A = this chain, B = another copy of it.
Amino acid sequence: MVVNDQIKDKALFAEMEAKLYTAVLCDVMDDLGYRNQAMRETIRPLDPSFVCVGRAKTILAVDVYQLSGDPYKMEIESVDSVRPDEVIVACTNNSIRTGFWGELLSTAAQTRGARGVIVDGLVRDVKKIVALGFPVFAAGIKPVDSKGRSIVLNYDCPIECGGVAVSPGDIIMADYDGVAVVPKEIVADVLKRALIKVEKENKSRQDLIAGAYLRDVYRRYGTL
């Protein structure tokens, strides 16, 4: 059963990566009344080539000001429990005190099958992460460790990241335009509508390249 779900997920994510992009997902969710599904513009891919699609595995990290006995306990637990095709989405409450994520965590997550990481805070070891080809999206880069600066408080719980509510199991798509969150209950509908909208956009593009005016193209296909 679970295996079946995983197979379905893999097919879904492959199709999304091949045919869709965050902009069209956001347009379609707008039409469905979900108007706050794109994260803030400050969360950017570490490399321009990065794209990732997967199920959200959420992590909540918080700032602290002392070294506790076992500072990495929950962070280790959260990463070791990653399942294939998940995208880690980490809320640090926009902390700029620490590089929350780094190369060794990336290696570990990749080994577990994670498809990427979205974090509203800072990361480090960026060149090594890029060399791994592991799609990490973050709000910035700083070379300090989280030890004594933040701890993972919880995981697999509701969070906010980049101004968007994220629940475990939501579909995350991230590309060069940003990060979109598709609530799990509307995935099928969003997918169907997005594929249709991509078609329209392709036609609009062709007509525009052929020299048509926007007013005519918009009248024809109803999309910009």
Contact = CB atoms under 8 A, between A and B. Distances in A.
A40 B139 CA distance: 13
Nearest to A161: B65
A8 interface: no
Contacts of A27: 144-145, 147
Interface string A155-178: 001111000010000000001111
A111 B209 contact: yes
B141 A72 contact: no
Contact of A208 (B111, B176, B180): B111
A126 interface: yes
B158 A66 contact: yes
B108 A63 contact: no
A35 interface: yes
Interface string A124-145: 1111000000000000111111
A65 B104 contact: no
Contacts of A30: 144-145, 147-148
B125 A177 contact: yes
Contacts of A95: 93
Main SS at interface, chain A: mixed
A214 B159 CA distance: 24
A23 B145 contact: yes
A215 B77 contact: yes
B178 A143 contact: yes
A180 B143 contact: yes
Contact of A40 (B22, B65, B96, B105): B96
A50 B49 CA distance: 19
A195 B86 CA distance: 35
Interface string A34-64: 0100101110100010000000000010111
Q: Which 4 A-B pairs have the closest CB atoms?
A: A62-B62, A22-B143, A143-B177, A41-B140
Interface of A: 21-23, 25-27, 30, 35, 38, 40-42, 44, 48, 60, 62-66, 72, 75-77, 79-80, 91, 93, 95-96, 99, 102-105, 107-108, 111, 122, 124-127, 140-145, 147-148, 153-154, 157-160, 165, 175-178, 180, 201, 204-205, 208-209, 211, 213-215, 217-218, 223-224
